[in-house]
């Protein structure tokens, strides 16, 4: 369950109340998370409020473990997840209650991992609960809104709240303070508007037309990869590796068929790319942006010979300003020539484009889409250039096979595809 949206309705208070609900039960264990220890220790934050509530009671505070222990033996612990690796600090925890304050400051992988810590003994009547409170915005805005506002799941609930729901706050003074914010942040914090976001001037969401399926026959299909190999713990919000699969139909329309987007160490990135290419099929072109210099050539050659051996693979050195390279793709979107196949990635794909160029934190999907578009309308005949042939007898296609060789299936000779 996610509670909140706007600033001021008492989200953190509600979260602390929920965590304390069963502290009279022996063995009950609750844990509340903020992204950093500094966030936990701020005046008026969860740990500070818990001290006000529980100080002078029979509960005992352990400042080293950051844990309140109650006469029943129940515990309330405060934790933080500053880096991706921090989630493993709680690998041995057994929790009845797990709460995230300001959920949009966390990564989805951190949130999902803590579900593995929720468990109880057979016969226990204490409910297992995962509770969160948050405003819109932050590095996790997209996945939180997708999980609670877009996806429909019977086990998830969003309880919205606004400033007017808290009768104990001086609303007039708080409203005056919020007026100092920029318009987008104001709509997020004052009204709990999850759809308010900064918008650039290159792409409009209304120009992306969403469809349920692409045509069965496309003239050409490519996937362009924009590589990144930064581990999540090395940077709080590193770039993504993105592969955009795009096709062109005979009527000149462009179809965005799939977006693969992930982070990880280089070896993990290679495995994910290989798996994606396997699902695409051996005849789908795989294109990579090549960094300048010898290192870029080595990477391109490595992917061609080792990671994706047997696929049509090219690496391309990219020159010129990014905005200049994006212009043809932006013009196609502006002319409503682009169709997006409806999928879980669709919303984030559009939102990143809307924010480009000055307002977006990331532009990896924009880079990959513009690269794929440039390949779709390139003059190169990829099949002949790479040596794709078709058997004249059974029609089977092969990559990198010489035309004079015989088909192992039917024995007839190949012909150019």
Sorted by where each begins, the domain ranges of the chain are 2-191, 205-382, 387-416
Tokens 């509600």 found at: 14
Phi-psi region of 323 (alpha: psi -120 to 50; beta: other; left: phi over 0): alpha
Instruction: Give the model's confidence band at 140: pLDDT under 50 very low, under 70 low, under 90 confident, else very high.
Output: confident
Q: Strand 338-341 to strand 254-262: parallel, antiparallel, or no bridges (unpaired)?
A: parallel
Q: Is residue 402 helix, strand or coil?
A: coil
100 Cβ contact list (under 8 Å, min separation 6) = 32, 33, 106, 111, 114, 131, 132, 133, 134
Q: Strand 129-134 to strand 209-211: parallel, antiparallel, or no bridges (unpaired)?
A: unpaired
The topology (CATH level 3) of 2-191 is Rossmann fold (3.40.50)
CA distance 193 to 328: 33
CA distance 34 to 21: 20
The answer, yes or no, to whether residue 35 has pLDDT greater than 60, is yes
What pLDDT is recorded for position 78? 96
- The reported pTM is 0.57
Instruction: Give the model's confidence band at 343: pLDDT under 50 very low, under 70 low, under 90 confident, else very high.
Output: very high
pLDDT tens per residue, range 352-392:
898 887 654 678 999 999 999 999 886 443 344 344 555 66
| HSE of 219, CA atoms in CB hemisphere, 13 A | 13
CA distance 249 to 256: 11
Mean pLDDT of all residues in 17-40: 94
Mean pLDDT of all residues in 127-155: 89
239 Cβ contact list (under 8 Å, min separation 6) = 228, 230, 263, 362, 364
Mean pLDDT of all residues in 35-58: 92
CA distance 349 to 369: 10
Contact 241, 271 (CB under 8 A): no
Mean pLDDT of the chain: 84
What pLDDT is recorded for position 183? 76
- Assess whether the previous peptide bond of 357 is cis (omega < 30° from 0): yes
Phi-psi region of 223 (alpha: psi -120 to 50; beta: other; left: phi over 0): beta
pLDDT tens per residue, range 188-202:
899 998 887 666 668
Phi, psi (rounded to 5 degrees) for 288? -130, 145
Q: What angle do CA 65, 66, 67 make, to 5 degrees?
A: 90
CA distance 337 to 77: 54
The answer, yes or no, to whether residue 264 has pLDDT greater than 90, is no
CA distance 243 to 253: 20
Mean pLDDT of all residues in 78-94: 91
What pLDDT is recorded for position 382? 38
How far is CA 199 from its chain centroid?
Answer: 19
Q: What are 202's two structure tokens?
A: 């290159």
The topology (CATH level 3) of 205-382 is Nucleotidyltransferase; domain 5 (3.30.420)
pLDDT tens per residue, range 275-318:
999 999 988 989 988 776 555 567 777 888 888 888 888 888 77
Q: What are 408's two structure tokens?
A: 């192992």
Mean pLDDT of all residues in 56-83: 95
The answer, yes or no, to whether residue 258 has pLDDT greater than 70, is yes
What pLDDT is recorded for position 416? 46
């Amino acid at each position: 369950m996610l509670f909140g949206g706007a600033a001021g309705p008492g989200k953190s208070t509600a979260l602390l109340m929920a965590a304390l609900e069963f502290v009279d039960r022996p063995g009950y264990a609750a844990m509340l998370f903020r992204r950093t220890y500094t966030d936990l220790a701020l005046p008026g934050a969860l740990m500070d409020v818990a001290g006000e509530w529980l100080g002078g009671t029979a509960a005992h505070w352990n400042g080293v473990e950051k844990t309140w222990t109650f006469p029943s033996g129940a515990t309330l612990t405060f934790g933080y997840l500053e880096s991706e690796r921090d989630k493993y600090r709680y690998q041995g925890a057994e929790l009845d209650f797990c709460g995230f304050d300001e959920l949009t400051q966390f990564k989805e992988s951190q949130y999902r991992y803590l579900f593995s810590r929720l468990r109880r003994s057979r016969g226990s009547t204490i409910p297992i609960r995962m509770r969160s409170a948050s405003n819109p915005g932050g590095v996790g805005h997209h996945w939180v809104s997708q999980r609670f506002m877009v996806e429909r799941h019977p086990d998830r609930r969003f309880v919205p709240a606004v400033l007017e729901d808290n009768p104990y706050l001086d609303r007039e003074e708080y409203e005056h303070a919020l007026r100092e914010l920029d318009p987008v942040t104001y709509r997020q914090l004052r009204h709990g508007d999850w759809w308010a976001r900064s918008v650039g001037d290159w792409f409009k969401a209304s120009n992306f037309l969403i469809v349920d399926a692409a045509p069965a026959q496309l003239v050409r299909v490519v996937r362009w990869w924009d590589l990144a190999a930064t581990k999540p713990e090395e940077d709080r919000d590193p770039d993504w590796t993105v592969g955009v699969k795009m096709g062109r139909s005979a009527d000149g329309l462009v179809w965005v068929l799939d977006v693969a987007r992930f982070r990880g160490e280089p070896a993990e990135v290679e495995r994910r790319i290989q798996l994606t290419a396997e699902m695409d099929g051996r005849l789908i072109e795989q294109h990579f942006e090549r960094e300048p210099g010898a290192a870029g050539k080595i990477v391109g050659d490595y992917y061609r010979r080792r990671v994706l051996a047997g696929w049509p693979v090219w690496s391309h050195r990219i020159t010129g300003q990014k905005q200049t390279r994006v212009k043809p793709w932006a013009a196609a979107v502006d002319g409503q020539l682009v169709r997006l196949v409806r999928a879980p990635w669709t919303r984030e794909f559009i939102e990143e484009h809307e924010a480009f160029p000055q307002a977006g934190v990331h532009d990896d999907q924009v880079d990959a889409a513009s690269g794929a578009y440039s390949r779709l309308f390139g003059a190169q005949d990829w099949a002949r250039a790479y040596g794709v042939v078709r058997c004249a007898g059974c029609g089977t296609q092969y990559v990198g096979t010489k035309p004079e060789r015989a088909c192992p299936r039917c024995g007839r000779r190949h012909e150019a595809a």
